[in-house]
Amino acid sequence: MQASNPLKRIAFGSPNSPTEECVFCRIRDRKAASNIVYEGAKYFAFLDAFPFSRGHTLVCPQKHGETIWDMEEGDIAELFQAASRISKAVVAAVGADGFRFIQNNGEAADQVVAHVHVHVIPIKMADRKRFMGREHFSPEEMEETARAIRTNLGLG
């Protein structure tokens, strides 16, 4: 059963504002530019515009909700199953040695966009103890990375 969400509402795309203002919903609806790597009936994934590493991917439910408390438990499990499948393609695409899942809920947890999402962050051994700062990749590098992930997902 879905519980009400007592977490403080945050600035970007709160369920209290229209869905068309949510940047992730705008990406889902192709109204904002992004490098989408996966799209299914319930979940979609795209490269983070401000990545911690090459291949940093966000996996989101198609249905708008701010935190995992806005989701049914079975849907949370399916979100992480999708993230797991996508993580294998991300790691293979960028030649990583491991990966992190990060899932923030609420402003206090550093959630920036108020749409449920799981970060899949590929990590190489050389970067294992390094501070994870935001990186910049050219549009061509981002598209090349997205293409490699789609290929590893069997999506061509």
Please return the burial class of 7, using the count of CB atoms within 10 Å of its CB with bins 0-12, 13-18 and 19+.
Answer: middle
- Band of the pLDDT at 15, cuts 50, 70, 90? very low
Contacts of 82 (CB under 8 A, 6+ apart): 38, 40, 42, 43, 45, 59
Q: Is 115 a catalytic site residue? A: no
pLDDT, residue 11, reads 47
47-89 residue pLDDT tens: 999 999 999 999 999 999 999 999 999 999 999 999 999 999 9
Token readout for 130 is: 């390094």
Helix (H, G, I), strand (E, B) or coil at 21: helix
Asked if the model's pLDDT at residue 32 lies above 70, the reply is yes
CATH domain 19-122+137-152 topology: HIT family, subunit A (3.30.428)
CA angle 113, 81, 146 (to 5 degrees): 60
pLDDT, residue 18, reads 60
Tell which residue, 27, 38, 29, has the closest CA to residue 150: 38
The span from the CA of 94 to the CA of 84, in Å, is 16
Adjacent-strand bridge partners of 118: 59
88-136 residue pLDDT tens: 999 999 999 999 999 999 888 989 899 999 999 999 998 877 777 888 9
- Of the listed 56, 64, 115, 117, which one is catalytic? 117
